Amino acid sequence: MTHFGKSIRSRREHLHLDDKRFSLRQVALRIGIEPAYLSKIERGEVSPPSEATTVRLAHELGEDPDVLLALAGKVSGDLQNIIRKRPKLFAELIRQLKEAPDHALLHVVREVRDGEW
């Protein structure tokens, strides 16, 4: 139980300050869930919603879906699919990067983006 609920509530309330379309009800209806359910989610009365709903919420609030999914205790299904296709390689790589500092990760990201193998 992280602060998924608090996080999206404060984000939504911030947006609500200068846009009345970000009331709990209107957001709920736009992302296709019941207002009462979103209320419970924001207050942490229920566990975070499904991946699909979390992603719609992220888009609605202008948040990074991967970050919001992480707060929800999940990892995006498309990332899981990538890993599942080469489980040994990805498992080794990810475990190896567990303790690496952020700048090392960034370094690898750039290297892969620019590198020609």
Partner DNA sequence: CAAAGTGTGTACTATTTAATACACATGACA
Partner DNA sequence: TGTCATGTGTATTAAATAGTACACACTTTG
User: Using CA atoms, how far apart are residues 42 and 100, in angstroms rounded to an integer?
Assistant: 33
Residues 51-80 close enough to bind a second copy by CB under 8 A:
64, 66-67, 69-70, 73-76, 78-80
- For residue 75, state whether it binds DNA (rule: CB under 7 A): no
Residue 25 or 86 with smaller CB distance to DNA: 25
User: Using CA atoms, how far apart are residues 42 and 48, in angstroms rounded to an integer?
Assistant: 9
Q: Which does 49 bind (CB under 5 to 8 A by kind): DNA, a second copy, none?
A: DNA
- For residue 93, state whether it binds a second copy (rule: CB under 8 A): yes
Contact 68, 25 (CB under 8 A): no
Contact 83, 90 (CB under 8 A): yes
Kindly state the smallest distance separating residue 86's Cβ from DNA, in Å: 23
User: Using CA atoms, how far apart are residues 69 and 58, in angstroms rounded to an integer?
Assistant: 9
Residue 39 or 76 with smaller CB distance to DNA: 39
In the DSSP assignment, the letter for residue 79 is H
Residues 31-70 close enough to bind DNA by CB under 7 A:
32-37, 39-40, 42-43, 45-47, 49-53
The size of the interface with a second copy (CB under 8 A), counted in residues, is 44
Report the 10 Å Cβ neighbour count for 27. 22
The Cα-based distances of 104 to 14, 99, 113 in angstroms read 34, 10, 14
Q: In the complex, which residues of this chain contact DNA (CB under 7 A)?
A: 16, 20, 23-26, 32-37, 39-40, 42-43, 45-47, 49-53
